[in-house]
Structure 1
């Protein structure tokens, strides 16, 4: 028997615990990192060459280097594929690459030496696992821990850990269930997901890793709950947060501020500012609605004091002509220009058209040299890498209180958290820091210290080794999972409800309903369908403690977003844009008696909203005028006084049915609760439906003729609970006769 086989009869984790708790730490750790896809080399990695050779490669290399620097680590080995081919460098065929005395890359055969994308590797991973076990058996001793990166390495890690009785740590980097939602939102079909991404095999591998691994390492607490929480084998007890490190050699404060301020780049960035010497408020992100850039401009535009104190700079990707951008990005830029014009901010706002990734550290340093602030006003921010980069460059930060920034500011204490849905919250935080130089300096110093302590790779490695000291016995957490009766389930059903007249109104009943939904979250998706815009809906949900639903249908069915990142379904947007002519609609209706346009915050791209007085004009008259002008629109009235004009293909009911089809949830397994006329088309047809007792007047009375629609005796959320019990909806997947 090979010498390495001794590990089959002695618990490696017991041996590890004895060594790590020994006072003198006489024996150092041996760590095996598994990262299979992409091109791995230790010198000048080809980052950005393709989709597989990106951030994960750099993460693993920097983690390995930081671990190898430690005295309590004996050796770090990175296991990846051995590759051959004229299209790639010959170094990828080398079985070993020595990076440092304690760090090397080991390349093993993987069934084929061709360079394949990660989606095509699944049939070869068992061969890779066999070669890895064979290699480990030939070594003087087995590693103390395996650490797999991404689903493909997780598949291998489970195989090897089970065969050699080794502890397994896993980092997902991205997750299949989350990616599926994002791809469906941009037009992919379930068949395409399988054909292009082998998505089911990936998700099954991730489920197996979660059921097997002794420890899952994530970047934020939000990632644990909102991303891993989508999985059947979700077990938060086995998950720990260690933020990824930051390259402090690239991101650092300026040593000679004046030199950076005089740079050619700075002149290009500030050429449209009237007073370029003022401090800069910097936002740097993609042109994405979730980044909430317009709320920042609104906050700046509403504060004369802030305009006197500082300029605003928005670095939002690269553009030559906004007409060349995709629809979503173009819409964001149009709104940015509209807000700048509305608040007459010309000469106060810089909107650079181009920048390179290599210039970002310099941009941070230049802004810091002005005495500026970095702000991230995103609706939700899973991690917040830009906040760490800014802090490492000497910038105080103002950031959203939703997601990773909460962890970052708790550690660094270098700025202010804001409510991204309240522009006054952004204004107050920015004014506070800009008006107090001592506070600005203290936030700057705290950020520099905090990043070094918590967000350098050295800090990451220190926390990593500390976690290994407490690594549980193999299977200990998995036993907890089995006793909790974790089952492999899918979201087979969905509960859909409006906000204002259905979900909200009885706080005690609301919390009871939310607890029920949380208990059944694996089998029942939670969907909110509201007439409110996305930002207004999020604000109301936050006020009442309503968690982000799986799917959020807003603006009366014209917007569809998916958790956990509020990913907008652009396919739905394209679908309902058919024959939509909002300017013509306004021309027809704006001058009619009995109609008054609602405020701008109630309008959206696909929804034109009016206050409606039925005493002055009949709804049929409005429809007739629109049809006479050959306008294909959907007209709906809610609460007797709110008129919405939508594209012909849009409504809450149409959006709900679109989502049901995309997520393959049978309409018979969807429960809908409503209380106004705008909810009617969701409730007709094959769905299970309930009208709460507090419905608006008699708008839904005509539904009483439908025998399969339940009229609750209770109001608000209590009525929803009553109807759920009537249908026994959460107890059975079968439709219950009425």
Structure 2
């Protein structure tokens, strides 16, 4: 039994528990999530004479750890999370006896709650990945989740130490396979086996040790070749010596530090595919459209930074003179009806790069009414298998070889990454950006009611397939994986779940696997930089954007006329959808006369006319925004811009707001990471970010920004007013927070840091993939079974629906 329940039952608070259960049973709600539970307990505690009971009682501690309560006919079920990445479930009966509930039993209870439990028809299909992770080391302490690289390094180096012959053989074979366009790299046939490798390394060290450190590799290339060493060890004698010394140490006395240092120098990544499928992927005219926005910015910036880092690595490896050139391809979808974008072009070069490209592959023309047009990310799944087959041919045509690394993005891109990696036998990385399951409460439980709109059965199955198939999962934050002490992480929510009448997931992901790594994205420093860097700003652009933000009139894309444009601007920029919650910010502003007296609200948000949107959720938010503006009479205090900005303009807009000592507010109901927060902070804007999601790991509250609870409008308004009042009393305070925000981004969130880390991961996991490929085969076969027996029939059924449109 949970010690938190036992502590209550063995104390005088046993009667309080009975009383609280009675109050819950008397209410209308039968399924309570954490916020519901806390609110109900707060109301219960208000009836007590003891003001400390809520925070200091044993029952209060039990309630704090309780994530869900299900009121069943004969009992109450508590799902308790005593620590991060651990869950327990118990049934409490009327007489306060307690019995534990297994995961299969808990999933049956959830099915019964929605009337979908049919024991007379037999058991539902169970998905359990637990047995397939026996090939992998498992992290013990939850605080090390997300640090898979260093854990895997320790594991691999210990294997080298414990069984040197086997692992030296693996290392020798790994060094022997590397080629680039037919050019042998690292070692050749003159080193015939693992026994010779150690001896030849020492001979090579003696040779290069006598050369000047700055002697170019080309001048002693043939001498090393005679010893069995090909290009790739370094561009100078000094660099070659350093690399061989690391290998020598790794052979003689391996440890995790040495292994990472060595593999990080190995030239094994030249061709990278970044998969971002679901559409409107271009460099102009796409931001703010449904399904794009932050993901497009992230992938484009990542591609530029990866190419730059690869070129640096190739130079240091001494491969410039061998015509080795990196190539990065962003794989997306070609949309024939391109709506004025470049999304109908097969190939588009990424601005600011030498050899990074957007490669667009069309969906096969099953139904031209669908496949000629943009398709929502919720509807895209029937086309992904054939897309992966076609994309494989297109990628080979571009690379003239297989890629070295495939990085998926979002649910659809990650599934395509799996299909490609499986066929090509290359390393697969996943990036989720956001998992829809966390955005839509009870989305798995009520999937049948939501299926016609969201098709969660396909999306959640695709997530389970891709996250288990991936060699490495790259997350932006720790809490994206396993949440916080008081909240469940996005990946953790897949640990067990029910899709009633479809399947039960008993163990959907191993959270303690070393595949998880926290590698936050950076911010494009060429576009987003401090407002104080006047030498890099363009006066004409500043004037135009000031006019656009504060005074211009155009009913096509501007709503609102400021009665006093000189008030301090509250600024936000995001898609106009429910999760981004810009309507919530407008409501917060509308409910606070004091905020209206002291500030203007400036929103850059997609569109201002429902006729211009094809997205149902966006249209609903547009209509809601108009209702809020009318209800609170905000027309003269708000500027709502429905525009798509070129990237350079989006960077300058933050700085224009900062010129006026404005404030950036990110009010999302949930934000997986928060790229706009980085953009605002590096520009110098004091930033208020949602406390639900990634911003909690970017912002340090009251140090370099502020947390807000966007569901508590009164509290949010008061936090903004408190900051403004501090700035009025002390004019330097705005600057202090501004400076601290910029410092935070430069120290932690640059693309240089991100891509260096990502490529280190690619090399380590590439080596791990090479040495454990046979042990993963049973896992991959199980994944394929889910794909062909569950995913594919449902995708086919959706395709048949599309034929009718």
- Give the alignment's TM-score, normalised by structure 2: 0.46
> More helix per residue: 1 or 2?
2
- Give the alignment's TM-score, normalised by structure 1: 0.50
Structure with the larger RCO, 1 or 2 (CA within 8 Å, 6+ apart): 2
